[in-house]
């Protein structure tokens, strides 16, 4: 395994008296597909927002892409990509304009933007609709485009916050093919999801319950530990044990 790209030490976020993320300690290495699971309100989004610099942690330490979360926020920004559950593209811009805009705000040069736009339109087979406004494209296309745009500036890590919400299983499967492809090229993927079948695709999983890490392991090892057949059952057991406490 290579150098860790994300390292957190007791990262904590409190909102008043409520502890959203409680002493999160993780080490994620380069090229890994890291799944981040949890029920609604378990602290997934809060954690992702801290790691992307959208939210200041209450306490704890973290480095992302080798930069300190507090002092090196510019370096962090340059080396991460982010895709939220709402795809975050502009519906009233065309495909080409979207690519150009996001490439621009991630600091690519004009020359690079042209090059990249052409490559991307080709590889996504979107040449025919390059000048169509996004609003009229199918969800699956937007999702693929959103992912490609998030990694256009060749970041070390990409954060995907429930990237497959509301998408049909076939499109989801294709989306995961893209994720695998990117991971093979050395990109680290940090993904949160609700779908347990997707959890099985990850290299490693972290299951959050009430802001704390309840389990952290490879999917097959996790299933062995809990003595069950599927991730679904692991998840239910964890959720239940929490309730009976």
Partner 1 sequence: MHSFRGFLLKEFYHIFRDRRMAAILFGMPLIQLLLFGFAIRNEIQEVNLGIYDQSHDAVTREITDKFASSGYFVMTQELHSRAEIEHAFAEGSIAEAIVFEPGFATRMIREGRANVQVLTDGSNPNISKIITGYTTSVLQDYRNTALRTAEVGVEAVPLMMFNPELKSVNLFVPGLMALILMLVSALMTSISITREKESGTMEVLLVSSLRPVEIIVGKVVPYFLLAFVNVVTVVALASFVFGVPCRGSVTLLMLESLLFIVTALSLGIFISTITSSQQVAMMISLAGLLLPTILLSGFIFPVASMPLPLRMISNLIPAKWYLIIVRGIMLKGTSFGYIWKETLVLALMATVLMAASIKKFKTRL
Q: Is 68 in the site for partner 1 (CB under 8 A)?
A: no
Rule CB under 8 A: say whether 107 interacts with partner 1: yes
Q: Which residues have C-beta within 8 Å of that of residue 220, sequence separation ≥ 6?
A: none
Question: CB of 104: closest distance to partner 1 in angstroms?
Answer: 3
52 binds partner 1, rule: CB under 8 A: yes
Binder of partner 1 out of 58, 85, 132, 237 (CB under 8 A): 85
Q: Write down the least CB distance from residue 194 to partner 1, Å.
A: 17
Interaction between residue 166 and partner 1 (CB under 8 A): no
Nearest alpha-carbon partner for 28 in 241, 213, 178, 209: 213
From 11-19, 95-103, 166-174, 204-212, give the range in contact with partner 1 by CB under 8 A: 95-103
| Alpha-carbon dihedral sign for residues 202, 205, 208, 211 | negative
Cα(208)–Cα(215) distance, integer angstroms: 7
Among 80, 124, 167, 222, binds partner 1 (CB under 8 A): 80
Taking the least distance from each CB to partner 1, the nearer of 43 and 219 is 43
| Among the listed residues 234, 47, 14, 9, the one whose alpha carbon sits nearest the alpha carbon of residue 242 | 234
Both ends of the chain: CA-CA distance in Å?
A: 37
- Within 37-195, residue ranges assigned H as helices are 44-51, 73-79, 95-105, 110-123, 139-150, 169-184
Contact residues toward partner 1 (CB under 8 A) are 52-56, 74, 77-78, 80, 82-93, 97, 100-102, 104-107, 109-110, 133, 150
């Amino acid at each position: 395994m290579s150098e860790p790209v994300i390292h957190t030490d007791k990262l904590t976020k409190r909102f008043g008296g409520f502890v959203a993320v409680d002493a999160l300690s993780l080490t994620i290495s380069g090229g890994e597909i890291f799944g981040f699971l949890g029920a609604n309100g378990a602290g997934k989004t809060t954690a992702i927002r801290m790691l992307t610099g959208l939210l200041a942690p209450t306490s704890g330490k973290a480095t992302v892409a080798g930069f300190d979360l507090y002092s090196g926020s510019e370096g962090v920004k340059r080396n991460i990509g982010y895709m939220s559950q709402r795809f975050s593209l502009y519906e009233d811009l065309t495909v080409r304009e979207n690519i150009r805009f996001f490439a621009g705000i991630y600091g690519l040069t004009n020359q690079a933007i042209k090059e990249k736009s052409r490559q991307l339109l080709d590889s996504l087979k979107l040449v025919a609709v390059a000048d169509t406004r996004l609003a009229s494209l199918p969800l699956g296309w937007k999702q693929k485009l959103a992912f490609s745009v998030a990694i256009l500036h060749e970041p070390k890590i990409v954060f995907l916050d429930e990237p497959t919400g509301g998408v049909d299983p076939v499109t989801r499967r294709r989306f995961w093919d893209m994720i695998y492809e990117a991971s093979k090229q050395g990109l680290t993927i940090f993904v949160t999801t609700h779908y347990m079948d997707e959890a099985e695709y990850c290299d490693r999983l972290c299951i959050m319950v009430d802001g704390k890490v309840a389990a952290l392991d490879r999917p097959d090892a996790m299933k062995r530990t809990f003595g069950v057949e599927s991730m679904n059952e692991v998840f239910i057991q964890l959720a239940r044990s929490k309730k009976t406490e």
